[in-house]
Amino acid sequence: MVPAMTADSETQLAAILSSLSDDKAEDIVQIDLRGKTAIGDYMIVCSGRSSRQVAAIAEKLTDRLKQDFGILSRMEGKGTGDWVLIDTGDVIVHVFRPEVREFYQLEKMWLPTGQTPEQTADSQV
């Protein structure tokens, strides 16, 4: 049975970061979207070492959010495992294979001017 509780964006963010860390996601970058867009409060970009790990990270994350908070996340891309998008409503998570992440460089679009993904990863995790 799914719990009827919900969690605010900061609680979701903490749970997501913990789940990604537990599942050995790499190069985790957290981007604050508050005041920039209505699509969510936070965006997280991370990498898995293989298609199988990317899919597993995404699956475990959605399962944990559902079990712990009753959050039904939308997920796209799990079948191929190159780039999986998880949308909780408040937090958007992108899990990439490293080569695909390098190609799209998604975090560069959302980071503040002058800030690099390395600076964000170092200060947030």
Residue 95 predicted with pLDDT over 60 = yes
- Taken in order of first residue, the domains within the chain and their CATH numbers are 9-110 (3.30.460.10)
Per-residue pLDDT band at 16 (split at 50, 70, 90):
very high
Please give the model's pTM, rounded to 2 decimal places. Answer: 0.85
Q: Which residues pair with 46 in a beta bridge?
A: 95
In this prediction, residues 33-45 reach a mean pLDDT of 92
Going from the C-alpha of 80 to that of each of 50, 55, 57, 83, 95, the distances in angstroms are 11, 8, 13, 8, 12
The answer, yes or no, to whether residue 124 has pLDDT greater than 60, is no
Quick one: pLDDT band at residue 125, thresholds 50, 70, 90? very low
The one-letter code for the residue type at 124 is Q
Q: Hunting for tokens 């009753």 — which residue is that?
A: 70
Among 18-27, 96-105, 116-125, the minimum mean pLDDT is found in 116-125
Average pLDDT, the chain: 88
Q: How far is Cα 11 from Cα 1, in angstroms, rounded to an integer?
A: 21
Q: Are 2 and 66 in contact (CB under 8 A)?
A: yes
pLDDT in the model for residue 2: 44
